[in-house]
């Protein structure tokens, strides 16, 4: 069971109605100010074993309120007076505790980290640039640290959508590496409020002025020229603000997915055409080589047949001469008839030994050889008579 003291003027949702010294005394229902606090309301809680008074929250809140009320104004404002009230610009630095910074400023000294410079002001006016190390900061004459500026190399990736000369929309990704110049730290700190937005604007301007002059294939080939144009424009613009453009890279050019698929198909078709030409050339070479081989084979076969016939003729001549010498009274006609008979039987032997199924009809009697010889002799005589006429 809790006993709540609620006045007629208090709001039902007032968060201070359980801690209000004089309920209903304020129009907003928030209770009286701390100076008017009196005795705390008695809150009784029912417990199974004991009865106790809930004084813990009241004592804690009362102590904090009176401590804050009696603290001197100077001590209450020390963290805001001597800490860095302005946010560090163009850098990502660690924040120290306000009371720690206040104590350091009370000792009239300040620390600047490596690769960082601090901007010192006197009564709101720029005074000097503090290098890394420990520096005197006499706050009682109006000097304070306005902010910090990093000298480290920073990178900004900018994605810009534009159109090429052949009406293809692409996303160009540029990577800008830049840093603040130590000699122009005051310009870098005071002249620009948002360095990244400024660089991004110049990158958009140059890319959207350069890429529409090129077709898609040329844009891929001239990435270095585009990056050089962006770097020159940024260097010219940002040097006045105390920044150095170290390097500019066009890291990617991304056309639409359908365009990439079409480009791949064109490339595949071109490669297939080259492959077909190469295949046809290979077949042509094979056929030429085959024909050359057949011609060479026929030529060699003809040479073989000619030599074979020459050998046969030489053999017949030697046989006729030898037979005429060894057998007196024989004529050349008799010798030729005998040779023809011998060849006739050799031919019959070869035909009979052949495994082919074709049939050959030839005269089977030896007298047919004489008829063949007569026909050959008559043909030779007729040829000789025609040549003489």
In this structure, the answer to whether residues 90 and 145 fall within a common structural domain is yes
Instruction: Show Cβ contacts of residue 253 under 8 Å, excluding neighbours closer than 6 positions.
Output: 170, 171, 172, 173, 219, 220, 223
For residue 370, the model assigns a pLDDT of: 64
SS3 215: coil
User: Angle at Cα 349 formed by Cα 345 and Cα 354, nearest 5°?
Assistant: 150
For residue 361, the model assigns a pLDDT of: 65
Is the model's pLDDT at 97 over the cut of 60?
A: no
In this structure, the answer to whether residues 110 and 174 fall within a common structural domain is no
In this structure, the answer to whether residues 109 and 18 fall within a common structural domain is no
For residue 346, the model assigns a pLDDT of: 75
Q: Which residue has the tokens 């084979």?
A: 297
Among 153-167, 239-253, 366-380, the minimum mean pLDDT is found in 366-380
* Last residue of one domain, picked from the residues 277, 298, 328: 328
pLDDT digits 0-9 by tens, 182-209: 999 999 999 988 999 999 999 999 999 9
| Residues 138, 139, 145, 146, CA torsion sign | negative
Instruction: Tell me the mean pLDDT in the region 80-100.
Output: 45
pLDDT digits 0-9 by tens, 7-27: 444 544 454 444 454 454 454
In this structure, the answer to whether residues 136 and 207 fall within a common structural domain is no
Among 62-71, 227-236, 331-340, the minimum mean pLDDT is found in 62-71
In the chain, % of residues over pLDDT 90: 32
More confident residue, 197 or 39: 197
Is the model's pLDDT at 75 over the cut of 80?
A: no
Count of alpha carbons within 13 angstroms of residue 69, beta-carbon side: 11
pLDDT band at 322 (very low <50, low <70, confident <90, very high): confident
For residue 351, the model assigns a pLDDT of: 73
Determine contact, residues 7/25, Cβ cutoff 8 Å. Answer: yes
SS3 341: helix
Give the chain's domain count. 5
CA distance 158 to 160: 6
Instruction: Show Cβ contacts of residue 159 under 8 Å, excluding neighbours closer than 6 positions.
Output: 171, 172, 173
In this structure, the answer to whether residues 186 and 251 fall within a common structural domain is yes
In this structure, the answer to whether residues 163 and 223 fall within a common structural domain is yes
CA distance 172 to 151: 28
pLDDT band at 5 (very low <50, low <70, confident <90, very high): very low
CA neighbor of 150 nearest in space, from 86, 110, 94: 94
User: Angle at Cα 200 formed by Cα 195 and Cα 204, nearest 5°?
Assistant: 155
For residue 103, the model assigns a pLDDT of: 54
In this structure, the answer to whether residues 295 and 361 fall within a common structural domain is no
More confident residue, 27 or 168: 168
For residue 350, the model assigns a pLDDT of: 75
pLDDT band at 380 (very low <50, low <70, confident <90, very high): low
For residue 65, the model assigns a pLDDT of: 59
Among 12-26, 208-222, 324-338, the minimum mean pLDDT is found in 12-26
For residue 74, the model assigns a pLDDT of: 46
CA dihedral 61, 63, 68, 69 (to 10 degrees): 100
* Last residue of one domain, picked from the residues 228, 255, 282: 255
Tokens of 200: 């991004």
More confident residue, 5 or 112: 112
In this structure, the answer to whether residues 250 and 158 fall within a common structural domain is yes
Q: Which residues pair with 247 in a beta bridge?
A: 177
Instruction: Tell me the mean pLDDT in the region 360-373.
Output: 63
Give the CATH number for residue 168: 3.30.479.30
In this structure, the answer to whether residues 248 and 176 fall within a common structural domain is yes
Is the model's pLDDT at 368 over the cut of 70?
A: no
Determine contact, residues 214/165, Cβ cutoff 8 Å. Answer: yes
In this structure, the answer to whether residues 92 and 44 fall within a common structural domain is no
Count of alpha carbons within 13 angstroms of residue 174, beta-carbon side: 30
CA distance 104 to 108: 7
Q: What is the mean pLDDT of the chain?
A: 74
In the chain, % of residues over pLDDT 70: 60
Determine contact, residues 250/159, Cβ cutoff 8 Å. Answer: no
In this structure, the answer to whether residues 237 and 262 fall within a common structural domain is no
Q: Which residues pair with 156 in a beta bridge?
A: 176
User: What is residue 39's DSSP assignment?
Assistant: S
SS3 143: strand
Determine contact, residues 132/116, Cβ cutoff 8 Å. Answer: yes
In this structure, the answer to whether residues 166 and 248 fall within a common structural domain is yes
User: Angle at Cα 309 formed by Cα 307 and Cα 310, nearest 5°?
Assistant: 60
CA distance 243 to 201: 15
For residue 38, the model assigns a pLDDT of: 45
Instruction: Tell me the mean pLDDT in the region 240-269.
Output: 89
Instruction: Tell me the mean pLDDT in the region 363-379.
Output: 63
Is the model's pLDDT at 154 over the cut of 90?
A: yes
Is the model's pLDDT at 48 over the cut of 60?
A: no
For residue 291, the model assigns a pLDDT of: 92
CA distance 344 to 242: 116
For residue 260, the model assigns a pLDDT of: 82
Instruction: Show Cβ contacts of residue 367 under 8 Å, excluding neighbours closer than 6 positions.
Output: none
Q: Which residues pair with 171 in a beta bridge?
A: 161, 254
CA distance 59 to 104: 34
For residue 43, the model assigns a pLDDT of: 40
pLDDT digits 0-9 by tens, 110-120: 889 999 999 99
The helix (H) or strand (E) run that includes residue 148 is strand 143-150
Whole domain around residue 2: which residue ranges? 1-70
pLDDT band at 319 (very low <50, low <70, confident <90, very high): confident
Q: Which residues pair with 305 in a beta bridge?
A: none
């Amino acid at each position: 069971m809790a006993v709540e003291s609620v006045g007629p003027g208090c709001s039902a949702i007032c968060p201070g109605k359980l801690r209000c010294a004089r309920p209903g005394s304020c129009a907003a229902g928030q209770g009286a100010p701390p100076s008017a606090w009196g005795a705390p309301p008695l809150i009784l809680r029912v417990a199974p074993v004991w009865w106790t008074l809930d004084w813990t929250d009241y004592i804690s809140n009362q102590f904090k309120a009176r401590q804050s009320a009696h603290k001197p104004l100077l001590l209450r404002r020390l963290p805001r007076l001597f800490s860095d009230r302005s946010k560090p610009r163009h850098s990502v630095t660690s924040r120290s505790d306000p009371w720690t910074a206040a104590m350091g400023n009370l000792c009239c000294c300040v620390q600047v980290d490596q690769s960082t410079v601090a901007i010192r002001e006197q009564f709101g006016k720029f005074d000097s640039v503090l290098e890394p190390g420990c520096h005197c900061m006499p706050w009682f004459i109006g000097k304070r640290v306005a902010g910090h500026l990093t000298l480290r190399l920073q990178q900004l990736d900018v994605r810009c959508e534009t159109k090429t000369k052949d009406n293809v929309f692409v996303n160009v990704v540029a990577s800008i590496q830049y840093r603040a110049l130590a000699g122009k730290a005051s310009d870098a700190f005071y002249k620009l409020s948002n360095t990244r937005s400024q660089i991004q604007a110049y990158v958009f301007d140059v890319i959207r002025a350069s890429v529409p002059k090129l077709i898609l294939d040329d844009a891929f080939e001239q990435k270095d020229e585009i990056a050089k144009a962006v770097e020159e424009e940024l260097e010219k613009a940002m040097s006045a603000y105390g920044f150095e453009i170290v390097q500019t890279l066009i890291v990617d050019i991304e056309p639409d997915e359908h365009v990439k698929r079409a480009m791949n198909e064109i490339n595949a078709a071109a490669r297939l055409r080259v492959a077909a030409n190469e295949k046809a050339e290979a077949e042509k070479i094979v056929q030429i080589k085959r024909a050359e081989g057949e011609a060479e084979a026929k030529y060699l076969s003809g040479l073989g047949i000619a030599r074979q016939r020459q050998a046969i003729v030489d053999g017949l001549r030697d046989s006729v001469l030898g037979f005429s010498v060894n057998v007196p009274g024989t004529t050349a006609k008799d010798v030729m008839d005998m040779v023809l008979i011998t060849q006739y039987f050799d031919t019959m032997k070869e035909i009979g030994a052949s495994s082919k199924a074709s049939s050959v009809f030839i005269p089977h009697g030896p007298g047919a050889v004489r008829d063949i010889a007569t026909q050959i002799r008559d043909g030779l005589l007729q040829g000789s008579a025609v040549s003489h006429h």
